[in-house]
Amino acid sequence: MRSSLLRILALIRKEFLAVLKDPRSRFIIFLPPILQCLIFGYAASFDLSSVAYAVFDQDHSAASTALLSRLDGSGIFQRQATLSRAADIAVWIDSGRALMVIQFDQEFERHLLAGDAAPLEVIADGRNSNTAGTALGYFSQVVADFNSDWRLMHGQAGKSVQILARSWYNPNLESSWSMVPSLIGTLTMMGTMMLTALSVAREREQGTFDQLLVTPFRPFEIMIGKAIPNLAIGLAQATSILLVAQFWFRIPFIGSFVVLYAGLTLFLMAAVGLGLFVSSIVKTMQQAMLFAFLLILPFAMLSGLTTPFSSMPSILQSAMVINPLRYSLDLTKRVYLEGAGFTNLFSDFLPLLVIGLVTLSGAAWLFRRRLT
């Protein structure tokens, strides 16, 4: 019994030494968890620190000005524009520059002074149901405080301002309408990037990668041969999720399949490029899986999938300019729920194209170094 225990302790000591003496293992064990804890602690917040809104005030009264001053002074609501016509509402919501638009009726103050319920229309962007719901909750609290002070000052009873909320592109703020289209990019990236990262590492570990050194294949030919199958698999995965969204969850598809698949192709090109880049710098399949996971987790958490992107620290928002999933989520939801076209999605197509070209070029350069 004692000898068996000593052998086990010796084996445990050997495993600890093997892990701690390897610089890569020490890096994976200690640094990523600390960095991810700090990043997600600040970024993965369901609270909204800033709500961009626009106002269409047809009343221009002291009452409407007083309510807007409460919003502007709250520290959360940031007025982006004062609209002069109703047609501008769709422009600000569709472009994402305003999360909500507040519309005052021409008789707003007259209703208040008469003691009647004054209707106040709020149009929210429902493409992200969690964010829209939170913003409407904050706005309702500001209006409730305004109602209380108004009744106290004028000696009135009952509700003063009555909110009429409308959520565009997701009328009932159903979470599945926001989440399921987002999963088209998220789940596809996880599978595609992992498969691509393992492709070269698998051949190197099995010894077949050395056989490429004596073949007439050029580096870019090897890269294309590795990229296209994974790209096709990614499109097949995206199609399966799209079918589930339409036929199981019954989420209506408003946009164009051509636009959607063009965006998904650019997105998967970027994901495949990242996977090939990882696969080119590691030696084993285990390392490929670990490094791929270290990229996938931050990209998913900091893409705006579950928490508002606008609530993240500005330095993280700037750093996530290299995150292809960030643009994919915006693209898929806007095409699926809004029906956006190519001209409306230029700000998503261009970064995906740049990320794909940079990562594929970097992977090709690494392949060239390996094969020469």
| Res 314: pLDDT | 78
Domain boundaries defined on the chain: 51-168, 175-371
Rounded to an integer, what distance in angstroms lies between the CA atom of residue 302 and that of residue 50? 17
Mean pLDDT, residues 15-40 taken together: 65
Please say if the pLDDT value at position 284 is more than 60. Answer: yes
Residue 42 pLDDT class (50, 70, 90 cuts):
low
SS (HEC) of 23-51: HHHHHHHHHHHHHHHHHHHHHCCCCCCCE
Residues 6+ apart with CB under 8 A from 154: 112, 113
Rounded to an integer, what distance in angstroms lies between the CA atom of residue 54 and that of residue 93? 9
| Res 299: pLDDT | 87
| Res 225: pLDDT | 77
- Strand ordering across the sheet containing 100-104: 77-82, 51-57, 100-104, 118-125, 161-168
Q: Does residue 184 contact residue 238 with C-beta atoms inside 8 Å?
A: yes
| Res 280: pLDDT | 78
- Report the half-sphere exposure of 110 (CA within 13 A, side-chain side): 5
**From residue 268, how far is each of 231, 242, 286 by CA, in Å?**
6, 15, 23
Residue 42 or residue 4, greater confidence: 4
Mean pLDDT, residues 47-58 taken together: 86
CA-based torsion, 27, 28, 34, 37: positive or negative: positive
Q: Which residues of 285-308 are buried (b: 16+ CB within 10 A; e: fewer)?
A: bebbbbbbbbbbebbbbbbbbebb
| Res 224: pLDDT | 76
**In terms of CATH architecture, what is 51-168?**
3-Layer(aba) Sandwich (3.40)
Please say if the pLDDT value at position 275 is more than 90. Answer: no
Rounded to an integer, what distance in angstroms lies between the CA atom of residue 100 and that of residue 291? 39
Percent of the chain at pLDDT > 70 equals 83
| Res 354: pLDDT | 94
By mean pLDDT, which of 245-254, 304-313, 322-331 is the weakest? Answer: 304-313
